[in-house]
Chains A and B, each alone.
Chain A
Amino acid sequence: MSDFPWLTTLGVIPLVGAAVVALLPKGATRNVRPIALAFSLLTLVVGIVAATQFKTSGDNPQFQLAETHSWIPQFGVSYAVGVDGMALSLILMSLVLVPISLLAAWNDIPEGGRRQQSYFALLLVLETFMVGVFAATDVFLFYVFFEAMLIPVYFLIGMFGGPRRQYAAVKFLLFSLFGGLIMLVAVIALYQQGPGGDHGFLVNSLTGLHMSESTERLLFVGFFIAFAIKAPMWPVHTWLPDAASEAKPAVAVLLVGVLDKVGTFGMIRFCLQLFPDASKWATPVVIILAVISIIYAAIAAIGQNDMMRLIAYTSVSHFGLIVLGIFAVTQTSVIGSQLYMVNHGITTAALFLFAGFLIMRGKSKNITDYGGWQRTTPVLAGVSLVAGLSALSLPGLNSFISEFLVLIGTFERYPVAAGISVVAVVLAALYILLMYKNIFTGPKQQLVAAPDGTLAMAGVNGQGGRPSTGVTKTLFDEPDTDIADIPAEAKVRGSAIRDLDVREKTVAGVLIAIMLFLGFFPKPALDLLKPAVRDTLQHVNVHDPAPHAGVTTEGSSK
């Protein structure tokens, strides 16, 4: 079984799914969603089987499950895929997030018709590219996936987004292309430095090259700018809040939770591995930018009223922490960053999707339009709080371990940077709990959706919402068990707000279960990542500082 092309299979299944979904005949369009979900679940199952083939112990090559085929030998380009622990963990995270997002996106697009087919097909295509970009072990192939991903995302935002979707989609595309094209120059220049030949673009062929100082630095900068935009770091982060706010929540999940990871993934795989000396040279600047991102974005998040933008800013702050851990280059901080990439995907997915559930009901992204919703939707309030606590790194939930490892590992080498960054734990509490307070606490509102899609207070003076026909039927098509709580006036309008249904509870339940599992038992993930970290540190050739006052022996566990 070890020769089975696992990674190619993982990439092909969703692509086939996308084709099936897109080409369904008119009569069968009812099945678009189940088929899309089935294909994503199949991919997940195959992904888990593939993961069991991956060896974490023993002396393994950097990339396992590897496949290499010549593609354009004239230019040294190969179709080469393979994974280390970091790539595998990110692929698994993506494979988990896709079916969850599909399930959450169930009612995003009105049933039937081409629009729904395109939406789900594009999501599946995106999954193919996600697998590809993390699995590519050929720099050129990586670049191809890196750019190709933009296409489905551009259409997902531009066709299916909010009112300012065109602006957001173009902005996203331009920022990404700007970085991507700089990287292309660097990719070609890097090939010139390498040994050349049929497989000259393989990561392994390009690792450990001897370049002149200035060349290495220029190439590093070329790659780094692309990744910094992708990740995104201050000051090139401004495309993210717009894109996340205009995209559908499920798209925002895949965009921020998965695609942006290509940035931090690339920093480890390419910047550190291919240009170790230039990385050391650039470290002071990168660390400063990371610290600015952490604090700046957290403060910006506190000031947001659009909850999707708020979540986007929290991500910028968290990406700052990931970058900080990567460039501190200690064993502890790097593994923390790698784990953080996975955790951030789960947590951000929960934040975006639960916000999406709320926006479906409240018809507004503005936090100030809400209040007292815990009384109306207690389950939604509860799961949102858990997601929020994960975002503020409450111990016992997933993010804590990774944030803690990043900071404690960074402190070993850069105490000042870690000391400033730790302020983020207070700022995180502020942006999460203020949002929670403004949305869910306070007196209960009797909410009635008006035809124009805005919400009005019903009741007291009767000047509230007008008779509603504008509420999408799918939202409220099940009998309402809590109808007794609603005043007669609102009952007539038939638009009472309901708590989460079974589908939404499934989404929430799976995400929270993963958060708790990784919070209390991160060992499987850490075991997967450990060898990858060791490889990275070997490439960079940096050693951890020894304990400053210790007589402790390395690795002895207590």
Chain B
Amino acid sequence: MHDATGVASIGWLMIGLPALGAALLLLGGKKLDKAGPYLATLLSWASFVIGLLILLQLRGKSPEDRGMHQHLFDWITTGKFNLSAGLQYDQLSLTFVMLITFVGSLITVYSLGYMEHDPDKRRFFAYLNLFVASMLLLVLADSYTLLFVGWEGVGLASYLLIGFWNWNPAYATAANKAFFLNRIGDMGMLIAMFVMFWAFGKVDFAGVNAGVEHAGKGTMLAIGLALLVAACGKSAQFPLQSWLGDAMAGPTPVSALIHAATMVTAGVYLIVRSHVIFNASEDARLAVCIVGAITLFAGAVIGCAKDDLKKALAASTMSQIGYMVLAAGLGPVGYAFAIFHLLTHGFFKAGMFLGAGSVMHGMNDQVNMRRFGGLWTVMRITWVTFGLGFLAIIGFPGLSGFWSKDKIIEAAFEGSGWKPWVFGLTALIAAGITAFYMSRMFFMTFMGKRRWTEDVHPHESPLTMTIPMMVLAIGSAFLGLILGPTGIITDWLEPVVGKHEGGEHVLGAAPLMVATFVLMVIGVAMAWRMYWRDAVPVAPPVGSPLTQAARRDLGQDDFNQAAIQRPGLHLTRALVFFDNKVVDGVGNGSAAGIGGSSARLKKMQNGFVRTYSLTMLLGVAAILGAVWVVR
């Protein structure tokens, strides 16, 4: 890799500027209450501009020659563990830079309107800047350890923003839950680094990648699984998925940016970035596929039962990231499509979340879709932009999701044996379910009859909010078409993730396309019948056992509570008791014992000569006896 030249040599400013913004806003005090948000927005766009210039610089070179590396400073030098902080500009990281800075800046603009009346908005924009800086560090880092700094940094930003309105105890709990489950993932990340250092003596990408060919299968499997645990935490994948639904407690722009478009996809980035490791371990890839398949299916099922607009979108995010993880687990055939779907999803899901925010803005912050309906008459822009996102995610022919998601389904069917059938059919059927729950969401919110509460007067949101929505809607519509069928995205990423020679499919592309389309139509039609044509009851019906289970997130919280939380509480209590009574008791007990015996011994000092002479006699006898025995 070359040393960074040109614009790339100031590439660190992409991270530095938003970080500076965060620091200024947090330390600036009330003086910056007015100007702060604009400063934050400006710095976010500045990062985008720098990123764009570097992207153009990369495009100007031949494909194999594009990667650049920038040494920042010697970070940890201990003699054996030596690591410098450096940034890596290649096709993969720049793709993410574009997504993060562009969508991030749009959402910052949106927040100018959305958070206008919040007294703490300076703090909010500071956290947004902190997030952008951390996320850019995550994708630009040249080593796992530096990546980990960004990785936990986005976790911190996520924690702060989920708990932004933490005077509501439930929101504070949601923030903690997200941090705890992410920390379990982080443990995986740490273990992955431990094994890397143990095996290769390195934790930077170049060093690890160079060592892979010398390592055994077991080592690679261990690293792969540990990285998968990390990805599960950050990307809300089974079994660490339960925090994402609760994370919707954060302000809606946060849900759009962090919990839909960027941060939660970091797990996918991690897997694709570590493709050399996963290429070397088929078992690790299989584990990735299984996790992805379970999550994409479970998320889709949960999405069908949620009446809370944001939670339904969160379930959908889980499911869509499941698709990406599945694609990444498929190996070289899927890496590029995982990233492709990640990009398009970033646009349409962020757009829909912003739409949800716009709906809430007009509906007094309500989120219950059973109290929506018929909103298309009063919120035309939101309706259209959300509608484009909706069509994109269900894979309506021509729109973004059609190009990216169908590619994943197609890739899942490649290969032989049982795997393509299991993963392929899961992905295929879940696509039908996706069409159902997304249509349900769209129809319940915008179509059908009005079921509003008395006190709401829905209205369209201001332009600061709708313009970002429009931009994202355009992306939802055309991004797939521009990048997919033209081969731009696959060619662009090929030097990083490797080329894939087409393999055998158990099911051809044409029948698959038809099947996907038919399932989508069935899903939409069923939703149309239940949630548009028929009246939607304001009170949720009891529903089948499956619906009830899905409403309870398929028991994920119940499981965590029964298996971890409650035993943990008992363990903590028992241990504190043990510590106070037993461990401390031994110390205090021996002190008391000494005290007691000295109290008894004290009685011997009674001042009577006869007692002392008796003691003396006994002593002399004892000594003489001892001498006699020894002789």
Chain A residues with CB under 8 Å of chain B are: 171, 174-175, 234-239, 296, 299-300, 302-304, 330-332, 335-336, 372, 374-375, 382, 389, 394-396, 400-401, 404-405, 407-409, 411-412, 415, 418-419, 422-423, 425-426, 429-430, 433-434, 437, 440-444, 520-523, 526-527, 530, 533-534, 544-552, 554-558
Contact = CB atoms under 8 A, between A and B. Distances in A.
Given A550-B214, A551-B214, A552-B201, A303 B169 contact: no
A433 to B, nearest CB: 5
B64 interface: no
Given A544-B80, A549-B199, A430 B167 contact: no
Interface string B204-219: 1011001100111001
Nearest to B584: A238
Given A405-B76, A530-B79, 7 more contacts: A238-B587, A332-B80, A407-B194, A411-B198, A443-B169, A544-B80, A549-B216
A533 to B, nearest CB: 7
A395 to B, nearest CB: 4
B572 A303 contact: yes
Contacts of A394: 152, 156
Interface in B276-313: none
A56 B628 CA distance: 66
Contact of A299 (B81, B179, B203, B572): B572
Nearest to A558: B204
Nearest to B163: A441
B82 interface: yes
Interface stretch (B35-43, B91-99, B180-188, B407-415): B180-188
B148 A395 contact: yes
Contact of B200 (A175, A527, A547): A547
Contacts of A418: 194
Given A552-B211, A558-B204, A442 B172 contact: yes
A549 B572 contact: no
Contacts, number: 201
B572 A547 contact: no
B573 interface: yes
B206 to A, nearest CB: 6
B199 A522 contact: no
Nearest to A296: B575
A409 B575 contact: no
Interface in B99-121: none
B78 A332 contact: yes
B53 interface: no
A199 B466 CA distance: 82
- Give the most central of B82, B163, B198: most A CB within 10 Å: B198
A442 B169 contact: yes
A175 B215 contact: no
Contacts of B82: 555-558
B73 interface: yes
Interface of B: 26, 73-84, 143, 145, 148-149, 151-153, 156, 159, 163, 166-169, 172-173, 175-176, 179-180, 183-184, 186-187, 190-191, 193-195, 197-204, 206-207, 210-211, 214-216, 219, 571-573, 575-576, 579, 583-584, 586-588, 591
A238 B582 CA distance: 10
B79 A534 contact: yes
A235 B583 contact: yes
Contacts of B591: 171, 174
B575 A550 contact: no
A70 to B, nearest CB: 37
B84 A558 contact: yes
A546 to B, nearest CB: 8
A235 B586 CA distance: 10
Contacts of B156: 389, 394
B575 A549 contact: no
16 contacts: A296-B575, A372-B167, A374-B166, A394-B156, A411-B197, A415-B194, A422-B187, A437-B176, A523-B76, A526-B78, A527-B77, A545-B198, A547-B199, A552-B200, A557-B82, A558-B207
B200 A375 contact: no
B184 A441 contact: no
Given A238-B579, A419-B191, A425-B190, A554 B80 contact: yes
Given A304-B576, A552-B200, A430 B180 contact: yes
B83 to A, nearest CB: 7
A378 B281 CA distance: 49
Given A238-B587, A441-B166, A523 B74 contact: yes
A549 B179 CA distance: 34
Contacts of A407: 190, 194
- Candidate in B78, B79, B168, B183 with the most chain A CB atoms within 10 angstroms: B78
A194 to B, nearest CB: 31
Contacts of B202: 547, 550, 552, 558
A547 B201 contact: yes
A302 B201 contact: no
Contact of B183 (A300, A374, A429, A556): A429
A545 to B, nearest CB: 8
Nearest to B148: A395
B159 to A, nearest CB: 8
Contacts of B176: 433-434, 437
Contact of B575 (A235, A299, A332, A546): A299
A335 B79 contact: yes
Contact of B81 (A296, A332, A396, A437): A332
A441 B169 contact: yes
Contacts of B573: 303
Contacts of A555: 79-80, 82
Contacts of B572: 299-300, 302-303
Nearest to B159: A433
Contacts of B169: 441-443
A375 B165 CA distance: 11
A69 B244 CA distance: 66
Given A331-B80, A550-B202, A551-B211, A299 B190 contact: no
B197 A412 contact: yes
B77 A526 contact: yes
Contacts of A236: 587
Contacts of B207: 552, 558
Contact of B211 (A375, A389, A549): A549
A340 to B, nearest CB: 13
A44 B491 CA distance: 60
Nearest to A444: B167
A382 B26 contact: yes
Contact of A405 (B81, B198, B215, B579): B81
A526 B153 CA distance: 24
Nearest to A521: B73
A236 B163 CA distance: 39
With most chain A CB atoms within 10 A of its CB, the pick from B80, B166, B586, B591 is: B80
Contacts of B83: 557-558
B75 to A, nearest CB: 7
Contact of B167 (A375, A382, A419): A375
A409 B201 CA distance: 10
B76 A526 contact: yes
A433 B197 contact: no
Most buried by B among A395, A404, A440: A395
A426 B190 CA distance: 12
Contact of B587 (A175, A527, A530, A556): A175
Given A404-B145, A523-B74, A395 B583 contact: no
B187 A425 contact: yes
A300 B187 contact: no
Contacts of A174: 591
B80 A408 contact: no
A544 B176 CA distance: 39
Given A303-B573, A433-B179, A526-B76, A408 B167 contact: no
Contact of B179 (A401, A429, A557): A429
A433 B172 CA distance: 10
A430 B572 CA distance: 12
Contacts of A429: 179-180, 183
